[in-house]
Amino acid sequence: MNTAASGAAPARLKAATVVVTALFVASQALIWIAYYGGGAKALIGDEQSYQSFALAILGGGPWMPSTIWPPLHALFLAAIYTIAGIHLVAVQLVQTVLFVGCAVLLRAIWRRIGGSVCAANTAAALFLLNPANAAYAHWLWPEVPHLFLVLAVFWLLLERPASRTAAAAAGVCTGLALLAKSLLAGFWPVFLIAFVRRERPRLRIFPAACFLLGIAITTAPALWHGWREYGRPMIADSSVYNLWIGLTDRYRVDYVADQGGVTLPEFLASATTPGERNAIYLEKVRALIAERGYARIAADQLGRQYFRLFSAKTPLVSQLPGPVCSGHLSVYRTPPALTAALAGANDVFHALMLAGCAFGLACWRRKPTLAIVLIALYMGYQLALMAVLHVKARFLFPMVPFLCAFAGTFYACLRACIAGAGDEPLSFTAPRLAVGAVLAGLLLVLAFAGPVLDGLCAG
């Protein structure tokens, strides 16, 4: 055994931990200064709705104030305000803790799947250090609580699939995730494959039942409310509205001639119940398809949706000072140097994540495990939804941890390969690297070419 080498590994880990911690603290400082340095950033879009709902709940209003937005985040804000007073900083601190918790869960999940310590640590660092990710903790969207709950489900199901307690906890987290965002509504039954025994394809009935019971207990009050008020068990339903907006969006980046805020009042005023509104807008969708045809619709969607999803013009960049013609809202009052630093770090980490993930996927050589299959199905489900529904750049956030995971494995294995060690679990063959280069190029085009193709700010 090489004593010097074995002693050097902990030293390198300690040094890397110190560096990542220092960079994280610096990143956090810049984000806090950006938010408050020139006066607090204005709330935008759905942030205003969640704040209004939370304040209404504190004033004795209904706990399910909307048929469009699920209720959990408004309740989450109201609970924090009840304890700490109506201070946005309190929400930001709690969500920052959850954001760090997301990185901890990501690291644990990726270690459980079989990645090296270096790969898991690199994945967590890519997630933590990107200011575009960290900034979500400062906004009143439910992205960070929802992601924490989703990652908790993955960790519980992969770590202890035979445990009834863990299964029940995963069910509760799944139910809470459904109450935070509607994205998992069509996917959560897929989690049941985690209860299939590997040695003999047979369902672990009691843990699976505990999982379903956890979901049922958590979502029952909201479903009962929907049944009582609207005649069907529902939490919130914005699917048809988002389908209509997704089919009529024009640009490849956010906040350029955005139709969401314009159309929502029309949608809500179109009828008195969710079912009636959905019927009206489904008819509009059918008319649009009849007018354009499926081929043109498909071409339009493929030429726009994934540019919006993978765009490097993240919600952070969109809110920084910049030209209105390219969709900059300028609600942050940051000086030019800080704006450039945040936007530059955003672009660097975004490119590292997408390119690293592309090579990580292309070079992956291990046989698919249950965990990898579950992650692949989750990612595929998200990508399929975004092919047709209204896409904002923030809708990539639920996929970001796993993009960072494959990128982390690639960078860790690349380092090991350069150092002369094995490259397990990746294989750096020429064909795999060629596929990785093509996929990386495609993702980087989707990330950065949208404004150019749209001709934004031309002239």
Q: Is the pLDDT of residue 80 over 90?
A: yes
Q: What is the mean pLDDT of residues 146-168?
A: 96
pLDDT at 254: 92
Contact of 137 with 92, CB cutoff 8 Å? yes
Q: What SS3 state is found at 426? A: strand
pTM of this structure: 0.95
pLDDT band at residue 297 under the 50/70/90 scheme? very high
- Checking if the pLDDT of 415 tops 50, the result is yes
**C-alpha of 432 from chain center:** 28
Q: What mean pLDDT do residues 227-232 have?
A: 89
Angle at 240 between CA 238 and CA 243, to 5 degrees: 105
Q: Check whether 7 has a pLDDT greater than 60.
A: no
Residue keyed to tokens 């933590």: 128
Residue type, 330: S
> For residue 116, is pLDDT > 90?
no
Q: Are 101 and 137 in contact (CB under 8 A)?
A: no
Whole-number pLDDT of residue 2: 52
Top mean pLDDT of 61-75, 187-201, 407-421 is at 61-75
Place of tokens 């806090």: 32
Instruction: Provide the sign of the torsion angle of the four alpha carbons 231, 236, 240, 241, taken in this order.
Output: positive
**And the tokens for 367?**
């046989």
Q: 446 and 383 in contact (C-beta within 8 Å)? A: no
CA pair distance 145, 107, nearest whole angstrom: 17
pLDDT at 417: 80
Confidence of residue 383 (pLDDT cuts 50, 70, 90): very high
Q: What are phi and psi of 391, to 5 degrees?
A: -110, 130
Using only C-alpha atoms, the chain has a radius of gyration, in whole angstroms, of 23
User: What is the mean predicted confidence (pLDDT) over 27-44?
Assistant: 95
pLDDT higher for 396 or 117? 396
